[in-house]
Structure 1
Amino acid sequence: MPTTDNQGSFLNLISIRRNQVTAIEPAHDQEQEDLELFQKHVATRFSDLLPPSADDSAPPPPPLLSISWLRNLLDAFLCCEAEFKALLISGRDPASLSKPPLDRLIPDLLDRNVKALDLCNALSHGVDLLRHWHSLAQIAVASLSQQPLGEGQVRRARKALATVLTSMAFDDKDHAGGAASFHGRSAAAAERSWSVSRRGGRDRYASRFRSLSWSVARSWSAAKQAQAMSASLVAPRGAEVTALPMPIFIMSNVLVFVMWALVAAVPCQDRGGLATHLPVPKQLNWAQAMSGLVDKIGEDWKKKEKKGSAGLLEEAQRMERVAQWLVDLADSFMFPLDDDKAAELAAQVAELAEICSKMEEGLVPLQQQIREVFHKMVRSRADVLDVLDQAGKSSIPVPY
């Protein structure tokens, strides 16, 4: 889904409508139409991300929480974010944003964005760790693809895959994964320490893992950060349902879900209990697809969390399974292999090669999209603060 999908027409429509003041169509009616269109777009984009039903004849989307699916999710978020920004500030009187209940809702939204910036940092460095696993898996594929296959190649492949499995099983509290924060981070985020850190480890694999780490407090938790973003989410009531509080509520839910799903898939520091406390208003049309995705991902997370694995990224789960099979084979390797075992080995190596191909194709673009989300949120936050400054309401408690 391209990030420009429906954006241009939607933004132009808002601009034109806000500049047309007629007796026949009051401004409130125009805003309500814009809100309904925004809700429709949110519902459509997240419906496109749902796994297909048994009787669905449409082309299926990528597997849930695969690299391609996450890229589609981020495309959907960027489209929603652009439309929401137009609803919030395009052609609007700045003074209207400083009146109740917006004087409370907008600071909450900006604080939520700051929390999301921290998660974007963690996610980007989690992708660095995935790329490290990919490099090690490529070593194994190259070794096990050689003909004739000897014990030396098997040992080399086993060493690389054992490193991957040890890193995957490593305590989530040490999953910081990365080096430094994005350029242009917010002032609040800048107060933290985002530097490369090399700390001692339990073994050489732990040391290698931590050499990729992004230095944050050991008490920092990606799961708690994602859950904290939803702490102040309250659905609009009464007249607020057809006014600006509703798109703020919708976009806040979109942001929380996107960050939560990414944390479930990509290695991050401390994801324990991630499946709890993610409220989604199931009764609202725009949230039904999102609610279905929350239920599905939450169920999968609870199953995997008990096993202490590295998360729900589809390619990482497949890599973990294939790597374990190949390590077990290497531990009991007897040369030469019989025909059946050789055929099974060839099939497993081919699957690992396919996983590596998907990771090579998608991980760098995924990381670039996470950075794009980061910078778009920084710019949008700055634009909203500029509008508030124009209103001369510096007394609003905005979280800088």
Structure 2
Amino acid sequence: MFVADCFDVNEKGHLTIGGCDTVGLAEEYGTPLYVMDEMTIRQACRLYQKSFQENYDGHGMAFYASKALNCKELCRIVAEEGLGLDVVSGGELYTALKAGFDPEKIHFHGNNKTQDELNMALDNGVGVIVMDNLDEMKRLDQLAAEKGVTAQVSMRIKPGIDAHTHSFIRTGQIDSKFGFALETGEALEAAKAAIASKNLNLKEIHCHIGSQIFDIDPFVLAAEVMMGFRKQIKDVTGVTVECMNLGGGFGIKYTDRDHPQPYNAYMSTVAKAVKAKAKEYDMPVPFICLEPGRSIVGESGITLYTVGSVKVIPKIRTYVSIDGGMTDNPRYALYKSSYLAVIADKAGQPAVEKVTIAGKCCESGDLIQEDAMIQEAAPGDTLAVFSTGAYNYSMSSNYNRIPKPPIVMVKAGSSRVIVKRETYDDLIKNDV
């Protein structure tokens, strides 16, 4: 029934996470409340580490894509598990540095990094700066020259693969705001320019084909395309690029309709393709990087709400209104994303009601889910929404001047706050 092993139902019939009663957590910390299970996060990290050992003899590294959820405690956990970190803004980088994360194990992404962000990356010795376009390359080259340093860089490549169709269109993704295009020759010209620069060291080539992908074939095709580009760079310039970053996008379970592949299934299949191409091209196997984000934290998290009212519109629908909504989870409003929900007080009972879970914002589209099957709901009940560990807190807002919820981490029956609940004073602290 549940999306991860950290969830269960106790003797009271209440939903538990990491050995903690979710109804008790809601009473202790208030709602809305994000809750994360630490061991589920650590186990995901360890599965990636183990898979690199099994498939690449340890010649690779996972970089947690922190845009999924970035906070100091999560940076610390990722560091303890031996992963690198992928950041996409000055704010994410600042958080990582304040958490004590090793800057040499950070990759800095983004399609339009500001001059301040580039300076911040160079001044703090970020391991790899992922270049997105020629204008950014020129700015970075100039800044590195001014500082008298050599910037370690990667290039984001558009491999021409649409992972969200089953045709795997090779040129379908040329229309993207991210990266250098292969089809036009732009990527090769950029690689030649980076290699010719005295202030840049082209350490890596990178691609990312999408998100929440369940099929393995698009990842294999992307790896083969990138290996071909690596060979092209070698043929034209004589330089063998050391690293190849194949991005992230591995799917997780949101509902029973989702059937994600085990991480090692991705890794082993892609590794065979990479090694086959390396042999075909008579080139060394590159150091492989991946950027899992959602698959590290997504299934470890839930959001707890308090039901405020149940509004029955005969023969139309039933609205179950909660004390959160699109401010803490905008993904349904944005993407119509599917979620599993339960009444945490009655998790051991069958789901018998089809309802629309409605948020409290002054927007008709502020919904968490439509046609959701849940237990019979009543005012005061605790409602839990699963798989909210990724792209919920990180995409949250203060629309309608609603404070952001806290994040509580649980482990083996104990709980602690890792991000405090915002107050009304926090909302006005920058007002003048």
Which has a greater percent of strand?
2
What TM-score range do you get, normalising by the shorter chain?
Answer: under 0.3
Which has a greater percent of helix?
1
Using CA pairs under 8 Å that are at least 6 residues apart, name the structure with larger relative contact order, 1 or 2: 1
TM-score under structure 1 normalisation? 0.25
TM-score under structure 2 normalisation? 0.23
